[in-house]
Structure 1
């Protein structure tokens, strides 16, 4: 157990109050320790039925009752940088009560639901693993699940996994893969008053942008869910001064690909789109997608517990369900908050979403 004081969290509090308390512990990626301490302290103090482990700034809690199946529930503790949206606040907007602040949607509302149920679900009909982890909002290599998969894979073993990512309290199956690439053009430096003796590297990126502008993204329907691919330039750089023809320029590209596409196939597709251009192409970050997996017995049981009115859709972003899919564990996304509000300055979560997600997951764990 950590030795320094952690902010106190009350798992018996109303889910809105608990969410606000978690949101107010700032935990931008790389600064998750205070929140991890608070989560660890809460579980040790209020959940004697759980074995609690600490791995860096990740907290793992498990039951070991020898039941015939195990469900893993996970949520990341980190957020993107604060944008003058902490501490949290409440408001009523268009007749809807909302909790506003960094992380309310992505995904401290989900973390609050998981933490509350980790304490409550001491007699679930299945063994449970709860993982509250760090560094999800940064490069895949820094994600603590990457470390756990490599060093302690037994902690990730389960028959079914639920990620508390924002889904407006619906179910989102699978996720798209993601690939970041650096595309570099070379030229010849020269004084901008004598450009004929140089070769402008920035201009060589124009065909890249033209191809991306004309790109028609694929829509893949898998198990009845439609995944929309996306291929975009997300950053561009080049030049050293206002009177110098640049000899180097680069663009950062991001390709989001359907889960029926492997990383190798995704890279091959990118190179095909950019074929014939005099460029250097380097993959800088990549993670595979995950197939929906909604036809598995555990997923069907989960959907049944949520009821006929629950919405089911494809996850249009990347989430850590992909990690569990790679381990052979079917996984879904389920949590409070609209995913379109993730990372926005006006990030917020409807209070009704918090309660709906809590009650739905509670029914599954107490069926």
Structure 2
């Protein structure tokens, strides 16, 4: 085993410049708003260069690479889309070119999670070169996950008919092996008000104001969460607030909040639906 580790380390050292160049190039390609065509093409070029057995775009639009044809299937999953850059004026450097500081690259998507792709792509090629994948088929899947959790992998499973026995996910884990993760529930709460002209706001019922006690209560929920011994602390976050109003000079008659809940074992959707319903004042 030690001999194999030394050989892998040597191959990484020999290819270090190519790996880092590949990493910088895919980070430099914007892939926001689920637009992964350009970055997927660049990843496909690298897999072709490394001699992958098959490189293609699947029905969902993900970039796929395959090495081997064994009975056991291992999937290396990495989402290659990113969130936006927010206010460009708040960046002190180009968010796509990035900057290197103390050996770290700071750029949009450099951590979450384009950094996993070079290691996966080159790692698969190294495993093949060292004769480590007899009886295995390895797939790389570069997909869209930032805006639609799990759909890219589900499409690969359902539409492409690839059913992996094992899966390695490229989310950042501080270089530790994680054997599980919290579940996620996304929920909405809406309330109705009565619109009126802002100059006569007393004639209306502001839906945003009606929602404020609920937002405040959600912000205090975590203090009562009991951490799970394996999955750790559950989380709940109001991630978006939207309102409906006839115009910007009118009292809004509808307000909706979006809630992201990271759950541990035993916390299912009905449980959390009731927990949130209990936060709503009876008179709202």
Scaled by the length of structure 2, the TM-score of the pair is: 0.77
Q: 2:132 aligns with which of 110, 114, 124?
A: 124
Q: Give the corresponding residue for 2:98.
A: 88
Equivalence map 1:118-267=2 (5 Å): 118-122=124-128, 123-125=131-133, 127-140=136-149, 143-152=151-160, 154-158=161-165, 160-215=166-221, 216-221=223-228, 224-238=229-243, 239-241=245-247, 243-267=249-273
Aligned partners of 1:51, 1:265: CA distance in 2, in Å?
45
Q: 1:109 aligns with which of 107, 115, 133?
A: 115
Q: Give the corresponding residue for 2:66.
A: 62
Scaled by the length of structure 1, the TM-score of the pair is: 0.62
Aligned partners of 1:64, 1:115: CA distance in 2, in Å?
13
Q: 1:28 aligns with which of 29, 32, 44?
A: 32
Q: 1:77 aligns with which of 64, 75, 80?
A: 80
Structure 2 CA distance for partners of 1:156 and 1:268, relative to 1, 3 Å: farther
Residue deviations 1:230-276 (CA, integer Å, cap 9, x gap): 22322223345565333222222222212443334333433344374
Aligned partners of 2:182, 2:27: CA distance in 1, in Å?
27
- Using the TM superposition, give the Cα deviation of residue 193 of structure 1 relative to its aligned residue in structure 2, in angstroms: 4.4
- Using the TM superposition, give the Cα deviation of residue 113 of structure 1 relative to its aligned residue in structure 2, in angstroms: 0.5
Structure 2 CA distance for partners of 1:169 and 1:248, relative to 1, 3 Å: same
Structure 2 spans left out of the alignment, 5+ residues: 1-13, 89-93
Structure 2 CA distance for partners of 1:87 and 1:244, relative to 1, 3 Å: same
Aligned partners of 1:277, 1:112: CA distance in 2, in Å?
55
Aligned partners of 1:63, 1:118: CA distance in 2, in Å?
7
Residue 45 in 1 paired to residue 49 in 2?
yes
Q: CA RMSD in A?
A: 2.8
SS in 1 for 2:103: strand
Aligned partners of 1:65, 1:237: CA distance in 2, in Å?
50
Aligned partners of 2:274, 2:156: CA distance in 1, in Å?
30
Larger strand proportion of the pair: 1
Aligned partners of 1:137, 1:111: CA distance in 2, in Å?
15
Structure 2 CA distance for partners of 1:193 and 1:174, relative to 1, 3 Å: same
Structure 2 CA distance for partners of 1:241 and 1:104, relative to 1, 3 Å: same
- Preserved contact between residue 67 and residue 139 of structure 2 (Cα < 8 Å): no
